Structure 1
Amino acid sequence: MANLTLREAFINHKFILVEEMLKENSSSYKELSNWDQSYLVTEALKHKSFRITFTLIDQKLVETDLFELDHFSGSFIETVFGNIPFYSQPVSAFNYEILSKEEPNEEAMNFLEKFASAIENIDETISNTTILKWALVKRMPAKAIEILIQKGCKVNEIDASENSLLHLDLPEEYFGLLINYGLNVNHKNKGNVTPLQKAIDAGNKKAVQTLLENGADPQHKDNRGNSMFYVALVDKLNYDIYDLLCEFDSPNFDETNTDGVSMLFEYIRRLDNYSSENSLRYLSKMLDQGADLTHKCLYYGSPTTPLDIAITKNFAVFEIVLNHLYADINEQDDNGNTLLHKVCNVNLNFEAEKAKDIYKKVKLVLEKGADISIRNAQDKLPIDLASNDNLKEKTVQLLLKQNQ
């Protein structure tokens, strides 16, 4: 065995021999390729031969001053941090949830504490990252994160875009830890994005809950003037997160964004013939929560209500809306048009299949008490508007029956 080279020794996991060889002939480590140097460290850590790491440090064979590194990736420090055996197997995005339920290996935690003490300028930013940020992204155990903070890593670091560590997509236990160290849950980055919006964007419901429990503001407006309720429901269609937000606050359905539209308006506008049952269910929920169908928004520069937009949607959407309409069914707009006028005036664009939808809508409006005798500002009856399109023949016949 004494005739083994250093490379042969660590490949065969003879780590006691490796340690002796490093002490007796430190140059043998420098003669290894970069890959073999990293492999030696990786294998030693995998087998919990922690003394190898400190032998390398004591023999001044590796750099432990973060400030002196040109880059973090591939460095000795990164190699060590990336291979500490906290769990029964290496952590990945696929097994983190399972492994995180394990109690981190005590021997590995003790090693981390000692190794972190050996790093100079541990709070230094290098290659646009820090050790703490790297450790969070790599899902080191929460206890390991605490050790790094206690050893000098700055928890309140802000990157070039003014993101805090709470802007990272992390498991919820990290959010609680970072918040306990004083991070502001409502800190805005240069894009006016808060950690709550980042968590919503990532669909991280547990992180959203932790942030809300610690005072995150669901009424915060993004650069388009949309609240976090809007982001969750309209932009992300994340019904679970919307429900969670509603447990902490109520949406303001009257406010409009920079485009001049409300949350309800835009939600209805985006509905199509392929909208899911959940989409329709949450339309009902918003209306049950008090969203106003007659609140005027600006749409292509013209005052338009959510009700106006619903008229152009399929019957399933229109039926839900009409069943939540508490305004006078015969109320006239600035042009004298009633709801019945507007339904009869929908442009079918030569699409025959839409004619039945119009027929069903008119029938429903009539059942709700619509008056067919009201004339608009152009002295037009609803039937006059329907008569302009041959595809609406059945609708015209339905209206004629009302006169009998």
Structure 2
Amino acid sequence: MHNDRDILHILFEAALQAALPDGKFDGRLPERPKGRTIVLGAGKASARMAAAFEEAWARIGGTCEGLVVTRYGHAVPTQSIEIVEAAHPVPDEAGLQAAKQILALAQGAGPDDLVVCLMSGGASALLSLPAEGVTLADKQALNRALLKSGAPIGEMNLVRKSLSAIKGGRLAAAAGRAHLVTYLISDVPGDDPASIGSGPTIPERIDPEVALSILRRYGIDVPSHVVQSMRASAVTEPVLGGTLHMLATPKMALDAAAAKARELGLNALILGDALEGEAREVGHVMAGMARSVLMHGEPARTPCVLLSGGETTVTVRGQGRGGRNAEFLLSLALSLKGEAGISAIACDTDGIDGSEDNAGAWCDGSLLESARVKGIDLAVHLETNDAYTAFAQLDRLVVTGPTLTNVNDFRCILIRP
């Protein structure tokens, strides 16, 4: 018989396994080209995607070359595709140079060539090539401001596209003479291809005035030369894109966790794969839902799990060590007030909650009493966005290291009678 902590971790692992790219290229490969096969990519899962593509491509007798950029610590061995590591979530020089090389490789592709793009969450920061007139320092400052603003990922990516020489379909335009195929692992609510990594191969119109209105809404000031560059790099007539394949999504991960829960004799209810909002508010709402299950058997009967995905946000007010999943979980625990029979886990499927070294954290009904005994004021930790420190002191962090995939957040609330 598994205890609550074990069940939570088993379900999280089931979600992670379903989100890996291994074996998912079979049946989705294009015909081998007369010319070269050039593999380009970016994101936290892109190195694992590159290795999986190489294996699948070799099975049909294909050879390939190319370059993929991933986060520091996320590289895996490959045969012929070069892997470069760079910074995330704030871009650095390594990412800038990798983006230049990737754009050049796309521009060099001919009509007999196949360009394969592997995109996953994190590509927005990793594939950072500023538009003309914008410096890397400009993009770094704007990224930091956006990360602290509480803006949802869709709005952040729209701003990033307006300042990029490679995102928003511009990579597709560069590879225009070649046959283009894009494989995606989704980390965005709704699985919009244009939002995954800011859509380097997804053609779209880019209106800088919309991006500027987002910046004004969150009180983010940018220098006049950045505004001029945004307006000068508008895209009014996007080129045609290629073929798209979605390898893994948040819903696939939640479905796998639900199936595993049922194997363990639990009812499973998926609340949604695209939940957004302030992490602490979502935690408070879900605490009420868990109580309803325990008291009334609605919206599910115990024993059960409530599963959800998506990407919450944190408006940073304090100077603590946070992460949206840890903040969600701390709010949930405080709202439950030590209610017995309810435990939960909240993790980012890439293994990094915000910018910390943990994927997330877990809790049960004993958390508040443990904190009281140790003299830890959990309410203060929540107020100062310092959930990481609280869970670290209580030995409740979930640390996986790089998972080599990324389908956004995984939340599971386990409720027993």
TM-score range for the pair, normalised by the shorter chain length: under 0.3
Could you tell me the TM-score, scaled by structure 2's length?
A: 0.26
Q: RCO greater where, 1 or 2, for CA within 8 Å and sep 6 or more? A: 2
Could you tell me the TM-score, scaled by structure 1's length?
A: 0.26
Q: Which has the higher strand share?
A: 2
Q: Which has the larger radius of gyration?
A: 1
